[in-house]
Structure 1
Amino acid sequence: MPSSPLHRRSLPIVVLVVALLAAGCVALPGDGVTGEEIADRFESDEAPTEVSATLEVRTVVDGETTEYEEEVWLREEGTSRIETGDGHLIVTDGDRRWHHDPETDSVSYVEIDPNSPSALEGLYGQQERYLTDDSYALTDVEETTFGGRETYRLAFDPPENETIERSIDVLVGDTEYTVPLETSDRDVADRHTERIEVWLDRETLFPVSHRVVGESAELETTYTDLEIEPGLEDDLFEFDPSSVSDEANDESNDGSEADEFEEIVLPSIEEFESVGEADETVPFAVAEPEPDAVPDGVELDGVSRYEFPDENRTQVSVFYRGGDGTTSVTTSDGPRTFATGGESIEIGTATGSIATTDEGTELQWSCENLYYSVFVDDAFGDDAAVDLAESIPDGCS
């Protein structure tokens, strides 16, 4: 399945990083529109109930350019349809998101959380969120045109520790967005985000175009042929899996038609500000390394709890981020596929496995029915991973 900001993970798609210098909103001097006025409109204006457009995606990594486009139809109440340039079809009918892969002629689906925002809600909701976040500094706002459409252009300075990968992750929330940021000369530690720009339709505040620019990589998404409230037909969002897949139409051994399709079960994710908050929500002690074992230059940057219903497993990951990269410590009540094929290593009284991957060093071990793992970026090295592991209290250390 190709990389796509609309179908590679979950629902919300590309969103804006539109925050200001301080908590609340700071207006820039001048006679034109201000950031505060735009923020007020996100609060008061009604978002469209449906849109249709062609989504054009362009990435440049170490001078290598990748481009593709998709036809998209989105409704505020949760239904959507995406047709990719290479024939993939993704239809969200409100209960499930169906995907037909023409290369394998296979059909898979994901159950939709009824409490999750729709793709269109995600676009507007996260823009409003970033308008009240003081992590991003609004440096410029102007009235201009883009592709013949009257727009507001907003420019931002991201946080110092923001990388391209991190920025994209922030942009799409929990959406499965895999941008081809890797090359044969991969060095993600230097892929810091330097500038963020967004063009908002003046009438509806729809994000017509958005750019994330770094020293050696950039991402640009643009909606062309955009129609607001186009009057979409309901059958556009209906999906009969047997009508698109020959495999689904094949008869089983007993003569009946096959009606089973692969279900992809996504984990639920909840974010916390501290380890203590996450610890209260799980039936095990969340591992936290000693402060002096955390590599220099990184700070606590969130705690996430993941529920994997298909594995009957829960894990909590503690993240530390800084200018040189990321480290994390994870506690799980079930085994994970992690650091496979690594070398054996002693962590206290336990025997673990340590391996170097494309991302960095991964180390795992188990103790008293709990499973621990540590990840550190390449910049920190194997010793940092071992120091983190050995500093964890009650982790067989």
Structure 2
Amino acid sequence: MSVGNSDIRSALPVLALILVSLTAGCAALPSSGPTPADVEQEITAADPPDEVSATVDVRRTIDGETTRYTEDVWLHADGRSRVETSADGTETVVVDDGDGRWHYDVASEWATRLETDPNATSSLEGIYAQQERYLEAYEITGVEETTVDGRDTYRVTFDPPTNETIERSISVLIEDTEYVLPLATSEGETAQRGADHVEVWYDRETLFPVKHTIEGDGVTLERTYRNLEIDGGIDDERFAFDPQSATRNETITLPSINSYETVDAADEAVPFGVAEPPADALPDGLELDSITGYEFHGENRTQVSLQYRTPGDETVSVVTSDGPRRFAVGGDAVAIGRVTGTIAETDQGTELQWSCGERYHSVFASHAFDDGTALRVGQSLETGC
């Protein structure tokens, strides 16, 4: 049977409709998921929620030794928080009511209160700020949609940029240990506790990191949030602590801290001369990294610390103070000019201390430097002794 031109013309609109339908159907198919750029944009734009509560499972492996413990956490955007930690049969409670932070050891019934800075970053802000730092130092190399404890999440993999030398670092503070990321210098050296791989599982709705792993250089850190509630309404009583529950309690006043651009500026701000070593007394590669003044109200003492740092994050610090430190390091007697000081080896490095009239000085040099570094720097200072 033949088909005429008129039949073909009448069929064209129908074919066109079929093609439009097929094309629309293809456009409606689900995509392969968010791209790294999409997720980066979401992380950057995310704001912390008002409240978070959860049970956190923590696993930490350092040089083959693994520690596990559990935290029950309640965090508020205004800075209030409560963390109850169970580890190896010990229980501690840390409560920040916005004005002060209580540390309570349940077994010993000993409570210690620290005054808190009203301008300090809240725990929730710090968690989200950490994600920004990952984006600054790492590349997103993988994104996967998955679940954690019943929550829809993005599993995001961060790795150091390929074929690129990283000359600066960021840090993650886990309890009292600071882990520096990613720790590659322009000379290719590796500093302590480098981490070369990070994975974060983000809640898709709030971008809260419900799981977090860091790996590298003999360290594996993992935090997993279970029973997570976001903006669920936390009772204000969670952020209160009654010191009467403790048989012993004490209050520790934190120092006021100021940063200075130059040694001269620090010298003008404090009631004593700030000792500064000459450049030729310092090991090669050290540069002045920070100048910080501390006013210890509880000790009626002020000090200024000059921190020198290498690209590999090794440090030498020089401290001048108008009073002795409460927790001074002891050591062996050593001559410094016309006075006698002490020098000691610690877990971090060499510490040298001495006094000169009403001035107190110390020099610290990390283990990367030879044993005589602290003494050479100390003897180079013009302290009037």
Above 0.5 in TM-score? yes
Q: What are the within-5 Å matches in structure 2 for residues 65-214 of structure 1? A: 65-85=66-86, 86-128=90-132, 130=133, 136-138=137-139, 140-145=141-146, 147=148, 148=150, 149-157=152-160, 159=166, 170-172=171-173, 177-179=175-177, 191-199=192-200, 200-214=202-216
Report the Cα distance in structure 1 between the residues aligned to 2:334 and 2:78, rounded to whole angstroms. Answer: 51
Over 3 Å counting, the alpha-carbon distance change for 1:320 and 1:154 in structure 2 is farther
Over 3 Å counting, the alpha-carbon distance change for 1:293 and 1:57 in structure 2 is farther
AA in 2 matched with 1:157? P
Is 1:293 the counterpart of 2:281? The answer is yes
CA RMSD of aligned residues (A): 3.2
Report the Cα distance in structure 1 between the residues aligned to 2:264 and 2:145, rounded to whole angstroms. Answer: 47
Task: Give the match for residue 26 of structure 1.
Answer: none
- SS for the counterpart of 2:372 is helix
- SS for the counterpart of 1:48 is coil
Report the Cα distance in structure 2 between the residues aligned to 1:304 and 1:50, rounded to whole angstroms. Answer: 34
Report the Cα distance in structure 1 between the residues aligned to 2:33 and 2:267, rounded to whole angstroms. Answer: 50
Q: Deviations over 1:113-150 (max 9, x none)?
A: 2222222222234544x3685xx243535244352531
AA in 1 matched with 2:101? R
- Whether contact under 8 Å (1:361, 1:381) holds in the other structure is no
- Whether contact under 8 Å (1:191, 1:217) holds in the other structure is no
Over 3 Å counting, the alpha-carbon distance change for 1:180 and 1:283 in structure 2 is closer
Is 1:318 the counterpart of 2:316? The answer is no
AA in 2 matched with 1:75? H
- Whether contact under 8 Å (1:339, 1:355) holds in the other structure is no
Q: Deviations over 1:336-377 (max 9, x none)?
A: 256643222222233221111222111012224221111112
Deviation (angstroms), 1:229: 0.9
Q: Deviations over 1:202-229 (max 9, x none)?
A: 3222222333433223333332322211
Report the Cα distance in structure 2 between the residues aligned to 1:195 and 1:361, rounded to whole angstroms. Answer: 29
Deviation (angstroms), 1:104: 1.0
- Whether contact under 8 Å (2:256, 2:295) holds in the other structure is yes
AA in 1 matched with 2:330? G
Report the Cα distance in structure 1 between the residues aligned to 2:288 and 2:194, rounded to whole angstroms. Answer: 20
Report the Cα distance in structure 1 between the residues aligned to 2:267 and 2:199, rounded to whole angstroms. Answer: 38
Report the Cα distance in structure 2 between the residues aligned to 1:71 and 1:372, rounded to whole angstroms. Answer: 43
AA in 1 matched with 2:124? L
- Whether contact under 8 Å (1:152, 1:202) holds in the other structure is no
- SS for the counterpart of 1:193 is coil
Task: Give the match for residue 373 of structure 2.
Answer: 384
AA in 1 matched with 2:176? T
- Whether contact under 8 Å (2:329, 2:351) holds in the other structure is no
Aligned counterpart in structure 2 of residue 223 of structure 1, from 199, 222, 225: 225
Report the Cα distance in structure 2 between the residues aligned to 1:286 and 1:180, rounded to whole angstroms. Answer: 28
- SS for the counterpart of 1:361 is strand
- Whether contact under 8 Å (1:97, 1:111) holds in the other structure is yes
State which drifts further: 58-67 or 97-106: 97-106
Deviation (angstroms), 1:333: 1.7
- Whether contact under 8 Å (2:46, 2:207) holds in the other structure is no
- Whether contact under 8 Å (1:107, 1:262) holds in the other structure is yes
Task: Give the match for residue 293 of structure 2.
Answer: 305
- SS for the counterpart of 2:269 is coil
Task: Give the match for residue 351 of structure 1.
Answer: 340
Aligned counterpart in structure 2 of residue 284 of structure 1, from 264, 272, 277: 272
- Whether contact under 8 Å (1:347, 1:396) holds in the other structure is no
Report the Cα distance in structure 1 between the residues aligned to 2:309 and 2:253, rounded to whole angstroms. Answer: 28
Over 3 Å counting, the alpha-carbon distance change for 1:373 and 1:144 in structure 2 is farther
- SS for the counterpart of 1:235 is helix
Deviation (angstroms), 1:55: 2.0
Report the Cα distance in structure 1 between the residues aligned to 2:379 and 2:38, rounded to whole angstroms. Answer: 49
Deviation (angstroms), 1:385: 0.9
Over 3 Å counting, the alpha-carbon distance change for 1:65 and 1:348 in structure 2 is same
Task: Give the match for residue 49 of structure 1.
Answer: 50
Task: Give the match for residue 328 of structure 1.
Answer: 317
Task: Give the match for residue 372 of structure 1.
Answer: 361
Q: TM-score when scaled to structure 1?
A: 0.73
Deviation (angstroms), 1:76: 0.6
Over 3 Å counting, the alpha-carbon distance change for 1:112 and 1:341 in structure 2 is closer
- Whether contact under 8 Å (2:56, 2:225) holds in the other structure is yes
- SS for the counterpart of 1:292 is helix
AA in 2 matched with 1:209? K
Deviation (angstroms), 1:67: 1.2
Unaligned runs of at least 5 residues, structure 1? 1-29, 182-188, 249-260
Report the Cα distance in structure 1 between the residues aligned to 2:100 and 2:112, rounded to whole angstroms. Answer: 10
Q: Deviating runs (4+, > 6 A) in structure 1?
A: none
- Whether contact under 8 Å (1:191, 1:214) holds in the other structure is no
Report the Cα distance in structure 1 between the residues aligned to 2:221 and 2:375, rounded to whole angstroms. Answer: 35
AA in 2 matched with 1:363? L
AA in 1 matched with 2:229? E
Q: TM-score when scaled to structure 2?
A: 0.75
Over 3 Å counting, the alpha-carbon distance change for 1:229 and 1:328 in structure 2 is same
Report the Cα distance in structure 1 between the residues aligned to 2:38 and 2:380, rounded to whole angstroms. Answer: 46
Alignment length (residue pairs) = 333
Report the Cα distance in structure 1 between the residues aligned to 2:178 and 2:119, rounded to whole angstroms. Answer: 30
